Amino acid sequence: MKIKLDENLPQALAAILSTLGHDVDTVLQEGLQGRQDPVIWESVQREARFFITQDLDFSDRRQFAPGTHHGILVLRLREPGRKALLQKLRMVFETEAVHEWAGCFIVVTDHKIRVRRTA
């Protein structure tokens, strides 16, 4: 899976996901840190990448309806420290059928994963 990580995620996550076989790029690697969300979103879509973020600006399911993009995962942990983020996303990518999430809108919380697919 081609993935782009937002700047609000630990950079160590890129190495973890790469080890699991994914093609990972980050907002920081691309020099887009601090840029407006539309600029980042355009880059994600132009590169046909699955986007992972904690940014609530990307949590509007109407604006980011399933099937209108290459996939987005919004991570919402109660205590989103570096260690918790790394552990949760490693577990998700090791145990879930993430290869089926292209074009989906996903919200991952401490206790569940909600996957919205095209109608």
pLDDT score recorded for residue 77: 97
> Residue 109: is its pLDDT beyond 80?
yes
pLDDT in tens, 54-91: 999 999 988 999 999 999 999 999 999 999 999 999 99
pLDDT score recorded for residue 61: 87
pTM over 0.85: yes
Helices 12-19 and 82-95 meet at what angle, rounded to 10?
20
Give backbone dihedrals phi and psi of 83, rounded to 5 degrees, phi first.
Answer: -65, -45
Q: Is 20 helix (H, G, I), strand (E, B) or coil?
A: coil
pLDDT score recorded for residue 59: 93
pLDDT score recorded for residue 66: 94
**Band of pLDDT at residue 93, cut at 50, 70 and 90:** very high
pLDDT in tens, 2-52: 999 999 999 999 999 999 999 999 999 999 999 999 999 999 999 999 999
Q: Do residues 16 and 90 lie in contact, with contact meaning Cβ atoms separated by under 8 Å? A: yes
Give backbone dihedrals phi and psi of 19, rounded to 5 degrees, phi first.
Answer: -60, -30
